[in-house]
Amino acid sequence: MKRVYKTKGYTTLKKYRNRILAFSVIIAVSTAALLSLSTPSHAVTAADDGKESQTTALVSSNDDISTTVVNGYATVTSSVSKIWSDLHWSSSVPSSKYYHQTFRYDQIATLKNGSRYVRLISRSNQVIGYLNVACTGRTSYARGIAIDGTAYATVTTNSGNIYSDFDWHVASKLSKYYHQTLKIKRTYYHSNGQVYYSMYTYTGHWVGYVNSNYVTKSVSGFVGAAISTNRYVTIVKKGLSIYANLAWKKSATTTSKIFTTYHVIREYHHGSGSIYYQLKDKNGVVKGYVNSAAVYQGSGQQGAAIGYLKSISLTGSCTIWKDFSWHKAAKQYSNLKGQQLKVKRYYHHLNGSIYYSVYTKSGSWIGYVNASGTKKYVASKQYTGAFWLKPSENKPYPNLNNYPNAYFSVSQEKQRVYIKAANGKTLYTMICSTGLGNNTPNGWYKIQAERGLAFSGANYWTSWLNHGQYLFHTVIVNHDRSYNVAAAKKLGHKASHGCIRLPVPDAIWIYKNAPVGMRVHIY
C-alpha cells in the first residue's frame, strides 16, 4: 500500500478551503433571500383551466426576468394583492380595484425566484399592469372562469334573452321566467364587462346564462327578491298560516283574520311558484306574510267583495255612497226610511268598517252603506195556523250537541228531510219540496258557511252546495214578503228550481242550528 504523507502546509490549505466553501453558501442563500424580497410574491391561489394559447414565444430575457407571449383571459380573484405598472415594481394599484373583473392578457413574465406575472389588457387595449398569476383564474374563454357559489335571484325584466352558451345561442326568452325566483350556482365576470349567472329552477332544471342586470338578488333564498306592487287584498280562505317574517315564523292563521283587508306594497315570488304578500294595516304597520292563495284582490281600499244575502232596513245615522271615493248616492235615508232592502255582497274596508252593497226589494242597486247604520229587517208574521207555519213534527227538535256526526238525509222520492244520528237512527222528519225533474242533484254534500235571513225568493236560507246556489229555505214568498200559499201547499211534492223548501219553523231551525260541515245526503 502506498502511503500518503500530509504536510503542515497541506493541512492549512484544506482548513481555509472549507471556510471559503461555507462562506460561498452563505452568500448564495443571502442573495436568493434578497431577490425574493425585491420581487412581489402572493400566496393567493385561483382556478386555472389550463386552456391558454399554446402559441408562445420568448420575447425578452435577462438574468432576472424572462417574458413570454401567452394569449388568454384572466379573472382577478384576489382583492388583497397589487397590480404593478411595470416589471421594475415602481408603482402599483390594489387588486381590489379590479376584483372579479376579467381581462385579456398577452404576456407572462417569469422572475428568477419562480414567481410569474400576467400582463392585463383592458377592453380598450390599454395595459393595466402585471398581476401575480396566483391571484388570477386563467382561461382561454372571454367569459372568464366560473366562480362557484350559491345565491338566489328573481327575474325582474320581461324582455331579453337567456343564453345556452357564450357563443350567444338563445335558450329562451326572459319573459318565460318573468318574476320567477331561480338559483344561481356559478357566476361569470365576462371580459365584456357584464356579469352572467348560471341559473336553475326550484326543481333543479338548468335555465341557462342570464345577465345579472335582468335579475334582483334575494336575501331570503328561494323566497325571492321583494317586488314592488300596490294592491288591496282580503283574506277569504281559512286555515292557512300568516308568518311574522320570511324565515317562516308563524304568527297567526287566516282563520282569525278572515275577511280582513290589507294593503300590499311588496310581494315575493317563491321558487316553488307560490306568491307571498307582505300585509300592512291602515297605519302602514306590517302584520305578516301570507300566501296569495288565501286572499282575493279588491279594486281599492274596500277590499274584495264577499257574497252575502241579507234583508235590512236603514237607521237614521247612515250615509249611502255611490262609490268608495265617498261620493254620495242620489237616495239617502229620507228616501228609504222603513223600507226592506237587500244586501247581496259586502266589503271589509281597510279602515276597519264593513260596507253593504244595498238593493231595493225589486233588485235596483242603491249604493254602499256602513253596516253600523243598518238593522235586521223583520217581516211581519202571516197566515198563522197554516201547516207550513208549524214544525213538521209535534215534538222538540233534536239537540245536535248530543248527536255528534248527525247528518241530513233527503229522500226525493218521499219528499222528506230526515235528521239522522251517526248510526242511522232517524231523530226528526221534515216535509219538503225538492226540485222539479232532476233540478236537485243527488250526492253527498256539506252545510256551508253561507246563510241568511232572507233573499228575494224566501226566508231563512242555509247553503249546502256552491256557496249560495243550493239552499235549505222556507216556502217561497210573494213580493210583499208574505208566504205564497199556493206554493206552500205543494210541500210534500217536487216544486222548486233545485233548493229544498221547508216549513218556516224547520227552515229557521236549520238556519240557527246546522253547523258548517254537517253532512247532507240527497238520494
Catalytic residue set: 473, 499
Beta bridge partners of 397: none
Q: DSSP secondary-structure letter at 47?
A: -
Which helix or strand (DSSP H or E) is residue 32 part of?
helix 8-38
Contacts of 237 (CB under 8 A, 6+ apart): 254, 293, 294, 295
Return left, alpha or beta for 405; rule: phi > 0 is left, psi -120 to 50 is alpha, else beta.
Answer: left
Q: Which residues pair with 65 in a beta bridge?
A: 111
Which one, of 124, 165, 136, lies nearest residue 70 by Cα?
A: 136
154: closest CA among 214, 208, 112? Answer: 214
Residue type (1 letter), 415: Q
Other C-beta atoms lying within 10 Å of the C-beta of residue 404 = 8
Residues 347 and 309: beta-carbon distance below 8 Å: no
Listed as own residue / partner, the contacts of 56-65 with beta carbons closer than 8 Å and 24 or more positions apart are 59/107, 63/112, 64/35, 64/39, 64/111, 64/112, 65/109, 65/110, 65/111, 65/112
Q: Is there a contact between 441 and 522 (Cβ–Cβ < 8 Å)? A: yes
Residues contacting 465, CB < 8 A, separation 6+: 441, 445, 448
Cα torsion 389, 395, 401, 406: sign: negative
Maximum pairwise Cα distance, the chain: 156
Q: Both ends of the chain: CA-CA distance in Å? A: 131
Closest CA to 239 of 4, 449, 18: 449
Distance CA 241, CA 253 (A): 4
CB within 8 Å of 224: residues ≥ 6 apart: 152, 154, 181, 218, 268, 269, 270, 271
HSE, CB side, 13 Å, CA atoms: give it for residue 326.
4
The rounded distance, in Å, linking the Cα atoms of 57 and 130 is 18
The helix (H) or strand (E) run that includes residue 16 is: helix 8-38
CA dihedral over 379, 383, 388, 394, signed as positive or negative: positive
Report the 10 Å Cβ neighbour count for 356. Answer: 26
Q: Which three cell numbers stand for residue 344?
A: 247581496
DSSP three-state, residue 71: strand
Q: How many helices (H) and strands (E) does the chain have?
A: 4, 37
Chain-centre distance for alpha carbon 340: 45
